[in-house]
């Protein structure tokens, strides 16, 4: 019986670690994508190619908060990982 409880505890701990790893992965990938779109003309070229160049003026209102959000997620995941 005690082996079953130990197995459940270790399995739950492993699930928590996977969640922290996933959170860190999402934060880093989101930060990189938002930074690429903010600081390089990649998105400008793509929007111009598909005929949506009128949306270029609104990109700063979307991408800068997204960059801040993903940076926050990354910092949160790193702090959570360090405390564990």
Length of the chain, in residues: 84
Report pLDDT for 1. Answer: 47
Show me where the domains of the chain are located. 21-83
| Paired tokens of 22 | 């996933």
Could you tell me if 80 and 23 are in contact, meaning their C-beta atoms sit under 8 angstroms apart? yes
pLDDT digit string (tens) for 29-73? Answer: 888 887 777 666 777 788 888 988 887 788 778 888 888 888 898
Stated pTM of the model = 0.58
| Paired tokens of 83 | 């405390």
The alpha carbon of residue 44 and the mean position of all alpha carbons in its chain are separated, in whole angstroms, by: 22
């Amino acid at each position: 019986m005690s082996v079953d409880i130990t197995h459940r505890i270790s399995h739950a701990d492993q699930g928590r670690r996977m969640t922290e790893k996933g959170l860190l992965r999402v934060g880093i990938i989101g930060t990189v994508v938002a930074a690429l779109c903010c600081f390089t003309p990649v998105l400008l070229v793509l929007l111009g190619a598909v005929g949506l160049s009128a949306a270029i003026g609104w990109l700063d209102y979307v991408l800068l908060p997204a960059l801040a959000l993903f940076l926050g997620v990354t910092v949160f995941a790193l702090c959570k990982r360090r405390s564990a």
